[in-house]
């Protein structure tokens, strides 16, 4: 058997799990330029408002911000340009169908290097309603207070 895959997380989209109900995840490669890869290796990326879109039979990552690499000079591309996602044609068709017919959204959850290649974990998500978000916050607060009580009980 081969060696385990080395995974180095670059950035995560923590807001996505709060705003969307995650139904399925897919790993996709990213078509990047040299200075972008160097900037990612330095951990200089933000996926605050990023989402994926399917246009013309291709998948694109929109709104991902990769800071310019200082040593690249004028070779730096636009920090928030659309970047092509590398997926199999069947996967693109399947995800495109779900997004079009059911109103799902393709949201990036995290970006990482896997065996030296930049990858994005995409999630097929449905937007949460306000009451769902409140419910999740309430549940989290209850869990926190329960853990606090349990911890106090052990300390005595």
Q: Residue 20: CB partners within 8 Å, gap ≥ 6?
A: 105, 107, 123, 125, 126, 127, 128
Mean pLDDT of 130-156: 82
- Is 25 within a domain? yes
- Is 151 within a domain? no
- 19-74: per-residue pLDDT in tens? 888 889 999 999 988 888 888 888 888 888 888 999 998 999 999 888 888 777 77
- Is 103 within a domain? yes
Task: State residue 19's pLDDT score.
Answer: 85
- Is 90 within a domain? yes
CATH of the domain at 80: 2.40.280.10
Q: Are 92 and 59 in contact (CB under 8 A)?
A: yes
- Is 18 within a domain? yes
Q: Are 111 and 118 in contact (CB under 8 A)?
A: yes
Cα dihedral across residues 60, 62, 68, 69: positive or negative: negative
- Is 39 within a domain? yes
- Domain coverage including residue 82: 7-128
For Cα atoms 21, 26, 32, give the angle at the middle one, nearest 5 degrees: 120
- 68-96: per-residue pLDDT in tens? 887 777 777 777 888 999 999 999 999 99
Mean of the per-residue pLDDT values for the chain? 86
Stated pTM of the model: 0.76
If one counts the domains in the chain, the total is 1
């Amino acid at each position: 058997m081969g060696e385990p895959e080395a995974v180095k997380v670059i950035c995560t989209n923590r807001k996505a799990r709060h705003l969307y109900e995650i139904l399925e995840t897919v790993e996709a490669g990213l078509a990047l330029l040299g200075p972008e890869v160097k900037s990612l290796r330095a951990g200089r990326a933000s996926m605050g408002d990023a989402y994926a879109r399917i246009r013309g039979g291709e998948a694109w990552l929109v709104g991902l911000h990769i800071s310019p690499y200082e040593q690249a000079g004028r070779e730096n591309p636009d920090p928030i340009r659309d970047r092509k996602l590398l997926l199999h044609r069947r996967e693109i068709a399947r995800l495109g169908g779900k997004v079009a017919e059911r109103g799902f959204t393709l949201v990036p959850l995290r970006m990482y290097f896997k065996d030296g290649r930049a990858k994005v974990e995409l999630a097929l998500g449905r937007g949460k309603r306000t009451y769902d978000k409140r419910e999740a916050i309430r549940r989290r607060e209850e869990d926190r207070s329960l853990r606090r009580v349990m911890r106090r009980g052990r300390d005595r």
